[in-house]
């Protein structure tokens, strides 16, 4: 995620870090080169004869394309925002678990330590799973030696929740934990499982490929043909107008690509590592650990 102050004045013209320009610069430059060539040869030769294409079809196509791009970007932003809300819910469930364990497991300090660390392990494993990293390596530092059975599961985050339920069931069976109090913990585990299922639904269900492909093709066709329609009327101003429109359409397309998969490593994706670190800090603080790890900070305006 890009975190930087809102640009003002002349900064709007030259800021590159945090913008979409580096990702789409080759495409925009390619359209600019094409527009220069078309403008240079438009007076002596034109593939369609006369003054070239009429600008009217491009106006209509550009309007339709911008509407389609806005629909797609809205859908992609909904996925991005839902992912952020799910991780916000995980933060709520984790803090609530730590608070309830401090109150309800005061007589079981060892169980409280083990269970709270498992919650941190769950968040770490879930972030690794969503980003295609090693779930075992992410979860292992938060497990005790006798909890190694979790590492044999295919779905590590779900295995952590199962282990957590088993740990809490021991005092329940022995009569040291009231069934009503156990139900409070079970509600937290259900909330964490719901967060995982929601994240896996987003990660495993991309937007229809045919729709995305249609927008890619239309954006390229529009930007490639645009110089032929503008050259007769604008002359050497054709490259400037063509690159500005290419910047707008390719930029919207690229933003949709990045937000469609909110758990990836693109600049505008969600900062899962930073959110896991927040959960780690809050839960270790609840356990009384010191010193606490520092929150992750943006590197080059990018928070990972």
pLDDT tens column, 138-160:
998 998 888 777 777 889 999 99
The pair of structure tokens assigned to 203 is 């990660």
Domain count across the chain: 1
Strand partners, 13: none
Cβ neighbours of residue 31 closer than 8 Å, sequence gap 6 or more: 223, 224, 226, 227, 242, 243, 246
- Of 71 and 110, the structure prediction assigns the larger pLDDT to 110
Residue 62: its pLDDT value, please? 75
Q: Are 139 and 162 in contact (CB under 8 A)?
A: no
What pLDDT was estimated at residue 13? Answer: 63
pLDDT of residue 113: 92
HSE (side-chain half, CA atoms, 13 Å) at 222:
26
Q: Is residue 11 part of a domain?
A: no
Report the C-alpha gap between 115 and 233 in whole angstroms: 71
pLDDT in tens, 175-232: 888 888 889 999 999 999 999 999 999 999 888 888 888 888 888 888 888 888 787 7
CA atoms within 13 A on the CB side of 258: 19
Flag whether 109 is in a domain: yes
The answer to whether residue 14 sits within a structural domain is no
265: in domain = yes
Asked if the structure places residue 230 within a domain, the reply is: yes
pLDDT digits (tens, 9 = 90+) for 217-260: 888 888 888 888 787 777 788 888 889 888 888 888 888 888 88
With respect to residue 142, please indicate whether it lies within any of the assigned structural domains. yes
- Tell me which residue range forms the domain holding 256: 22-41+51-286
Identify which has the larger pLDDT, 31 or 233: 31
**Residue 283, pLDDT above cutoff 50:** yes
């Amino acid at each position: 995620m890009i975190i930087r102050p809102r640009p003002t004045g002349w900064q709007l013209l030259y800021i590159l870090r945090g913008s979409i320009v580096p990702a789409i610069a080759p495409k925009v430059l390619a359209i600019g080169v094409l527009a220069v060539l078309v403008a240079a040869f438009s007076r002596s030769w034109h593939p369609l004869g006369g003054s070239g294409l009429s600008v009217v079809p491009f106006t209509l196509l550009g309007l339709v394309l911008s509407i389609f791009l806005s629909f797609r970007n809205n859908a992609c932003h909904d996925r991005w925002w839902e992912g952020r809300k799910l991780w916000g819910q995980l933060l709520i469930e984790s803090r609530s678990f730590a608070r309830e364990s401090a109150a309800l497991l005061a007589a079981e300090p060892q169980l409280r330590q083990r269970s709270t660390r498992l919650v941190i392990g769950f968040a770490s494993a879930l972030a690794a799973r969503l980003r295609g990293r090693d779930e075992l390596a992410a979860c292992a530092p938060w497990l005790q030696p006798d909890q190694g059975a979790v590492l044999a599961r295919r779905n590590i985050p779900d295995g952590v929740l199962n282990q957590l339920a088993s740990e809490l069931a021991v005092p329940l069976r022995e009569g040291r934990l009231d069934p009503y109090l156990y139900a409070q913990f079970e509600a937290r585990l259900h909330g964490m499982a719901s967060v995982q299922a929601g994240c896996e639904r987003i990660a495993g269900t991309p937007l229809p490929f045919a729709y995305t492909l249609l927008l890619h093709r239309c954006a390229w066709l529009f930007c490639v043909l645009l110089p032929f329609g503008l050259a007769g009327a604008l002359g050497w101003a054709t490259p400037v107008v063509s690159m500005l429109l290419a910047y707008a359409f390719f930029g919207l397309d690229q933003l949709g690509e990045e937000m469609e998969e909110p758990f990836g490593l693109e600049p505008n994706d969600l900062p899962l590592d930073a959110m896991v670190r927040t959960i780690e800090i809050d839960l270790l603080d609840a356990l009384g650990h010191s010193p606490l790890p520092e929150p992750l900070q943006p590197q080059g305006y990018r928070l990972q």
